[in-house]
A and B are shown apart, each in its own frame.
Chain A
């Protein structure tokens, strides 16, 4: 059974000038121990999807339709108190900026011990022992001394390790990581990605990795969902999506990334920009920018349909489906 099921999720922002639909019928599953990448450009709705799952949508944003199931239990309708028990215990979260995820006034040890004791029935000494173990596992040297240090005494990369330790403290089954390496330098980014991948595999935790970096996705994930304008454009095994993209948007996105191994004179470019929520074109949201657009794209909105080894929301694959 899937660990996490997201079915027809709709997120809306009511405003004075009408309601803006930011996520429009998103569905996907995450299997236990699986790493699912969610990739897209700014404003595609990838962070919003993560926020909806961990129950941290910023008001006035609200879930207006669909459901989210964690191990078969519905979690999108839970009240704040019940959700707080799930967050941390069953879903861990890692955010982009490690400095804002940590409380600057508490030592990292206190934050870890507090988290462990809040979710697990262990004594203080045992919690401290576990906290030191977590810091060691995340590759922090001299963990016995570092545990009493404050966040500002750690470098950016080390802080992100502490945040990962914190997310894993209560042994959750799912980690939602929203751009965990974006604020870090490339050499540190490689360290953190390797750590995240190995530590989650060792503990059997599934990961939903939200990022705009296709390279990080390629190296880390089992499957990837490509988002565009609040919908999933394509979802499938990473290798297939990267090497045989079925959706013209995925293909364009892949071609637009400068490749370190190839010399090219001009980069492929997708003209135009992603539409803003509230001004989504009719039919397929990508049709004004799509090089392979035809009549049906302008009027009918495509749902995800089988396309080779992946599933894509694109009418080019309609005949195959029929």
Chain B
């Protein structure tokens, strides 16, 4: 059974002008559909990666999953219980212990005036797991060692660490309550490649040792290929393709997934000429009619411009695309299949 299940999750933000402006300038209410009906399941011990460009709603999904946002519609089922309902009750604290988050920017997510001991120990004292000072020191030391730092580092302040080390402190803090599910929002995008490799390796190792389940959010498809079991591609608040990693990279079906894969510079293909897909992500306040990708899609027809495709299962892969569903796009192996 899956540990995490998102059922038609949606989050709408009200970005209307103030009431007086609406009345005087006759401006309507404006709603931003940041996440618009996203469903997926993650099995225990597995990693689902969400990819997409800025503004596609992937970070909003992350915040919905840890309970930082209340969903406008839909629900999150964690280990058989409706998480957002439980968060409001007394048992919410127990559930929060089991779901933790790692943020993107290790410079902004650690309090500069706290020692590492206070930062990593806070979840432990906050949840009343450890009250004894000596035991707390002991536990914080263990956590730091588990992410490749030294126990003596706990007396230092965040500014004494490099970016990669700070991200390890964030991971240690997230692991403090022994969670089962970690939501990682672009955990390595602020880091240099050699440091990124260190952090990704440690995350993988921890997953194996502790059976952690990850939701991994990234815009970097190469990183996603490295860490994930399943990949969901998001565009303008919706999932457009959801497949296991090998299928997605070998035979990308949705035109947007293909475009994303094609847009990545290939390392060993120096001087390759290419024709990048034109256009940009549309304004989410004024999304196009029909399929949100239709203005940039080479396969768009009248139906794509009028009717919004739903996520359907086609041969084990979930795809929201009329062209694929009608068989107008023939599955085509990607460059990856030839090299792998």
Contacts and interface: CB of A to CB of B under 8 A. Distances in A.
B266 A218 contact: yes
A218 to B, nearest CB: 5
Interface string A254-278: 1011111111111111110110000
Contact size range, B: 35 or more
Contacts of A273: 162, 164-165, 195
A260 B269 contact: no
A185 B269 contact: no
Nearest to A213: B265
Interface in A179-220: 185-191, 193-194, 212-216, 218-219
A190 B264 CA distance: 7
Interface string B250-282: 000000000111111111111110111110110
Contacts of A153: none
Interface string B189-230: 000111111101100100000000000000111110110000
B225 A260 contact: yes
Given A188-B280, A273-B162, A260 B264 contact: yes
Given A190-B274, A214-B193, A238-B271, A258 B200 contact: yes
B221 A260 contact: yes
B201 A267 contact: yes
Given A219-B265, A260-B249, A266-B204, A185 B219 contact: yes
B192 A41 contact: yes
B336 interface: yes
A261 B265 contact: no
A186 B260 contact: yes
Interface in A83-118: none
Nearest to B246: A263
A206 B108 CA distance: 38
B238 to A, nearest CB: 17
Contact of A253 (B194, B225, B259, B260): B194
Contacts of A158: 280
B330 interface: no
Contacts of A193: 265
A216 B194 contact: no
Nearest to B190: A42
A160 B50 CA distance: 27
Contact of A218 (B269, B276, B277, B278): B269
B285 to A, nearest CB: 13
A187 B258 CA distance: 11
Interface in A237-264: 238-239, 242-243, 252-254, 256-264
B28 to A, nearest CB: 22
B266 A219 contact: yes
A157 B340 CA distance: 33
Nearest to B51: A186
Contacts of A258: 197, 200, 220, 222-223, 225-226
Name the residue in B201, B226, B265, B276 with the highest tally of chain A Cβ atoms < 10 Å from its Cβ: B265
A63 B225 CA distance: 44
A260 B193 contact: no
A270 B268 CA distance: 21
Given A269-B201, A273-B162, A186 B219 contact: yes
B131 interface: no
**Which one of A155, A187, A266 has the highest number of Cβ atoms from chain B below 10 Å of its Cβ?**
A187
B237 interface: no
B29 to A, nearest CB: 23
A259 B222 contact: yes
Contacts of B335: 261
A273 B266 CA distance: 26
B100 to A, nearest CB: 23
A215 B222 CA distance: 11
Given A215-B264, A238-B271, 6 more contacts: A186-B221, A212-B192, A218-B265, A218-B270, A257-B267, A262-B339
The 6 residue pairs across chains A and B that have the minimum distance between CB atoms? A215-B265, A190-B276, A41-B192, A185-B53, A256-B197, A267-B197
Interface of B: 53-54, 162-165, 192-198, 200-201, 204, 219-223, 225-226, 249, 259-272, 274-278, 280-281, 335-336, 339-340
27 contacts: A185-B281, A186-B219, A187-B277, A187-B280, A190-B264, A194-B276, A218-B269, A218-B270, A238-B271, A253-B193, A256-B193, A256-B194, A256-B196, A258-B225, A258-B226, A259-B222, A260-B221, A260-B266, A261-B266, A261-B339, A261-B340, A263-B340, A264-B226, A269-B197, A270-B197, A273-B164, A273-B165
